[in-house]
Amino acid sequence: MAILAPPYRPFSPGFPPLDPARGDGGATIAVTLRYAPLAFLLGLFTPILEIDGRNVPAGWGRVTTPVALGEHHVHVHIPYLLPSRLGAAETTVLALPGKTAELEYRAPLLAFLHGALGPPPQKYPGLVLTVLLLIVAAVLAVCGCAGLLSSAAQDDRPTAAAHSGPPAPDFRYAR
């Protein structure tokens, strides 16, 4: 007859013995998933949250998951068209008894960048580049509209070739 022993866990001050009344030690990982208002279309996609390779049901906002004590690998990405895994980010977090490990994920503003995952607050990846691209697009749009308006104003002026018949007399220099 075999005796079932608990899993081996070395003793250290950071890992006190498990309390059988609490089961897993009461550790929790909380991940807040966010996207920037400029990337509002990301709201149509549901992010994928994986802890130690297992999918955790998640949506945009705060997701809490009870976990066992120790280190855990956290991975987040957004299923997308191209690329198929937009904003992939991952980190390792240490779950302590009775504590909640807070993480924040920020989706990137540009599809080819990685997301940001770590302790809050995180910054949106690609924010500076996105603002620069928007400024360049706005300047090009203003220049294009100004060019169209100036060319339309030149087309409205009559030209000498447009008149048929004798030229009109010029009375500016008559005495």
| Helix/strand/coil for 34 | strand
pLDDT at position 160 is 54
Number of domains in the chain: 1
Say what the pLDDT of residue 77 is. Answer: 97
Summarised one tens digit per residue, pLDDT across range 70-109 is 999 999 999 988 778 999 999 999 999 999 999 999 999 9
Alpha-carbon span 45 to 140, nearest angstrom: 31
Q: Which domain holds residue 61?
A: 27-125
Express each pLDDT in 8-43 by its tens digit.
444 445 555 554 444 446 899 999 999 999 999 999
The CATH number that applies at residue 56 is: 2.60.40
For residue 152, the model assigns a pLDDT of 79
Place of tokens 């191209």: 82
Alpha-carbon distance of 103 to 147, in angstroms, equals 50
Q: What angle do CA 31, 32, 35 make, to 5 degrees?
A: 135
